[in-house]
Structure 1
Amino acid sequence: MPDFLMYLREACVENLAEAIQAEKQGADRLELCSRLDLDGLTPSFNLVRQVLDNVSIPVMVMIRPRAGDFEYSEQELDEMKREIVAFKNLNIAGFVFGVLSSQHIDIGRTRSLAELASPFEICFHKAIDEVEDIIEAVEQLADIKQITRILTSGGASTAEKGIGTLQQMIDTASGKISIMPAGKIRPENIDLLHQKLNAIEYHGRSIVVK
Structure 2
Amino acid sequence: MAKQPLLEIAAGSVASAVAAQEGGADRVEFCGTLAEGGTTASYGALAMLRDRVRIPVYVLIRPRGGDFLYGDAEFEIMRRDVETCVSLGCDGVVIGALDADGNVDPRCRELVGAAGKLGVTFHRAIDASANPSRSLEDIVALGCERVLTSGGCANAQAGAHVIADLVKQAGDRLVVMAGAGIRSTNLAEIVELTRAHEFHGSARAVIRSAMRYLNPALQDLSPDIEQTSVAEVRAMKEVLTALSR
Among the aligned pairs, what percent are the same residue? 32
Distance 1:186 1:209, change over 3 A: farther
Render the CA deviation track for 1:159-179: whole Å, top value 9, x for unaligned. Answer: 110011101111111110110
Matched, 1:49 2:74: no
Unaligned residue ranges in structure 1 (runs of 5+) = none
- For 2:195 and 2:164, the matched residues in 1 are separated by 9
Render the CA deviation track for 1:81-129: whole Å, top value 9, x for unaligned. Answer: 11111221112110011010021111x2111111111211001100110
Partner of 1:120: 118
Name the aligned partner's letter for residue 145 of structure 2: T
- Aligned to 2:142, what secondary structure does the other structure show? coil
- For 2:124 and 2:96, the matched residues in 1 are separated by 7
Name the aligned partner's letter for residue 15 of structure 2: A
- Aligned to 2:166, what secondary structure does the other structure show? helix
- Whether contact under 8 Å (1:99, 1:110) holds in the other structure is yes
- Whether contact under 8 Å (2:103, 2:135) holds in the other structure is yes
Partner of 1:16: 14
Q: How does 1:96-175 map to 2 (within 5 A)?
A: 96-102=94-100, 103-106=102-105, 108-145=106-143, 147-175=144-172
**Residue 208 of structure 1 is aligned with which of 226, 229, 233?**
233
C-alpha deviation, 1:5, in angstroms: 7.9
- Aligned to 2:138, what secondary structure does the other structure show? helix
Give TM-score, length-normalised by structure 2: 0.81
- For 1:98 and 1:5, the matched residues in 2 are separated by 27
Partner of 2:175: 178
- For 2:97 and 2:188, the matched residues in 1 are separated by 31
RMSD over equivalenced CA pairs, Å: 1.4
Name the aligned partner's letter for residue 16 of structure 1: V
Equivalenced residue count is 206
C-alpha deviation, 1:4, in angstroms: 5.2
C-alpha deviation, 1:200, in angstroms: 2.0
C-alpha deviation, 1:11, in angstroms: 0.3
**Greater shift after overlay, 32-41 or 135-144?**
135-144
Partner of 1:84: 82
Unaligned residue ranges in structure 2 (runs of 5+) = 204-231, 236-245
- Whether contact under 8 Å (1:5, 1:191) holds in the other structure is no
- Whether contact under 8 Å (1:26, 1:208) holds in the other structure is yes
Name the aligned partner's letter for residue 18 of structure 1: S
- Whether contact under 8 Å (1:41, 1:62) holds in the other structure is yes
- For 1:130 and 1:71, the matched residues in 2 are separated by 11
Larger Rg: 2
- For 2:201 and 2:135, the matched residues in 1 are separated by 22
- For 1:191 and 1:118, the matched residues in 2 are separated by 35
